[in-house]
A and B are shown apart, each in its own frame.
Chain A
């Protein structure tokens, strides 16, 4: 059998897993691994400028492709810099394998240079972690790491590697396991047919139904069957922030996003429904508002691959633990075989009611005639310029909500944002990952002047690899979402939410070797967008100045029910 060093085995294991690209940053503890990487060309290594960006880039790559993202960082600060990105992936159930260096085994625990207990630090934010104790264990450990990261409810897995385990002086036989079997880990392969039958019965007798689909539908590749199900039954569909694209955003049965900044109609439909079909969603607090006031008249069907998500925040009447794709497929075939259909008249009345809600609000906002641009207009111009066909990554804040509300995602894996952890600084590095996955695709990063500065150093990475990302910086010269809360709940006291020394982003972009475009007037917006997207091989940083006083509406009124919303600064339900 072939003999390899620990470092060579790690790289070979990546090759054997079919990994084409990893994101990382070298340092002392991982130099053996970097040397092994240098001597092969199957796995491409992307050098970022900060380890947090490596994790977000791997994360974006994974969200866009469905493949696991892979990260390589050194011990100590390299590893701790990756923590935010690992937590981001964990909260959104993104499959990721993080290889972190560690000081040599006999130094662990002695406060060695660049030592940190990464396994300990990451314990609550990884699906699992491994620590290499002898090089012979590496092949099986890597196989398990990828298996755990990508199956069941996916998530990040950490492999911590003391430097001595990768030494080129120690060579051991290498054979990559073909299969992995773990007695303590066996994700559910199928939903219970009896439960699925029960759910179908509930669907067939529903009069005011709604399908509430989350990120799990995208992660579990269930969009096709979700769409079939909705079409077959003529049910309205709402998506969570993480689920956007799971159901076509421009379809007439789509209600838009639900939750804290969901559409009026989506939240009204949820509250008034008699049946909620929750698929791959977890009844997050940003969706339900006050859990005890949540949808009082609804029977809840809950499909999720993670049993711990079911009945966590909202009690499920029909729980189904299983992969969403298989469960949805089985639902569709049961309904197709059944002669029964939901009461068409009742559904029509339901749709009439929904139409009324839609017409009442429909994400309306006031346009300033001759005044400053509205952020919503920027997202709409982006949608127009990209014909709805871009990959859109986002940072966190008002711009994220506007993008979620106004960009209609017709396909899964197009909308890439940090929904669970809400990580500012996610947008640009995740766009890097997406652009590597799809070099010819339009990739736009919708961000704000606050978020972009949290990982702006990655402009350098973009230059190095010639990534033609379009940065849409919705610049309101303030931390917009913080400011909105301060306006609404803190008497307009804008404590630390104002940035009064912004860089000249155009010149900043230029100094990194990119193109910068500043837009101040709505009249110039469409043309500037067209120009940006016509520069196919350049990164364009669009610095777009918008009205700083704009708020995101609708907005749930805290501790209320789904239907308790502010609809504008002066109007509430």
Chain B
């Protein structure tokens, strides 16, 4: 099962490698990983997605919690949450395809943020599924380059992950 684990941790060198090490040591793959400082510069928020059953995730979260730099963590997939990923995508835009790509971008509520005579650079935000669907719709033949940030997420409602 896909999980989104969100971690609040000390913004210190070495902290990230400890988190990643716990996964690689056990042979678990991290699908996506995004990390940046929070409004409090001494803290970083790290969001990662991985796959695992309840037992594996329980073990990994217990061990993540043991890391000295980890302040708090939450498995967002345990409750209602919002997840977003940002994608920048270069798409071939020539001839008849040019208008079709523009229409598709509009349908997906993306933005064209850079244009040349043959290429559109599209910015698109949403769930990972939506980003996949966009790339699928445009088709491999048209897609020149894809950059994705990885999932960021936050709980719905009043619940906050803070110290």
Contact = CB atoms under 8 A, between A and B. Distances in A.
B162 to A, nearest CB: 11
B9 A184 contact: yes
B108 to A, nearest CB: 40
B118 interface: no
B59 to A, nearest CB: 7
A128 interface: yes
B71 interface: yes
Nearest to A306: B66
Contacts of B59: 308, 312
B66 A308 contact: yes
Contacts of B68: 127-128, 148, 182, 184-185
B14 A131 contact: yes
Contact residue range for chain A? 10 to 19
Given A308-B59, A308-B62, A184 B10 contact: yes
A109 interface: no
B107 interface: no
B21 A123 contact: yes
Contacts of A123: 17-18, 21
SS class of chain A's interface: helix, strand, loop or mixed? mixed
A308 B59 CA distance: 7
Contacts of B10: 184
Given A123-B18, A123-B21, A184-B10, A308 B63 contact: yes
A370 interface: no
Interface in A100-141: 119-120, 123-124, 127-129, 131
A250 B163 CA distance: 50
Contacts of B70: 184
B116 interface: no
Contact of B65 (A131, A307, A312): A307
Nearest to A309: B62
B62 A184 contact: no
Interface residues of B, number: 19
A373 B65 CA distance: 52
Contacts of B58: 311
A127 B63 CA distance: 11
Nearest to A184: B71
A184 B7 CA distance: 12
Interface string A80-105: 00000000000000000000000000
B117 interface: no
Contacts of A307: 62, 65-66
Contacts of A131: 13-14
A124 B71 contact: no
Contact of B17 (A120, A127, A128, A183): A120
A151 B69 CA distance: 16
Given A120-B17, A123-B17, A124-B25, A184 B69 contact: yes
Interface string B47-66: 00000000000110011011
Nearest to A157: B68
A319 to B, nearest CB: 11
Nearest to A307: B62
A131 B18 CA distance: 14
Nearest to B59: A312
Interface in A56-102: none
Nearest to B66: A308
Interface of B: 9-10, 13-14, 17-18, 21, 25, 58-59, 62-63, 65-66, 68-71, 163
Interface of A: 119-120, 123-124, 127-129, 131, 148, 182-185, 306-308, 311-312
Given A184-B69, A185-B68, 6 more contacts: A131-B14, A184-B9, A307-B65, A307-B66, A308-B65, A311-B58
17 contacts: A119-B14, A123-B18, A123-B21, A124-B21, A131-B13, A182-B68, A183-B71, A183-B163, A184-B68, A184-B70, A306-B66, A307-B62, A307-B65, A308-B62, A308-B63, A308-B65, A311-B58
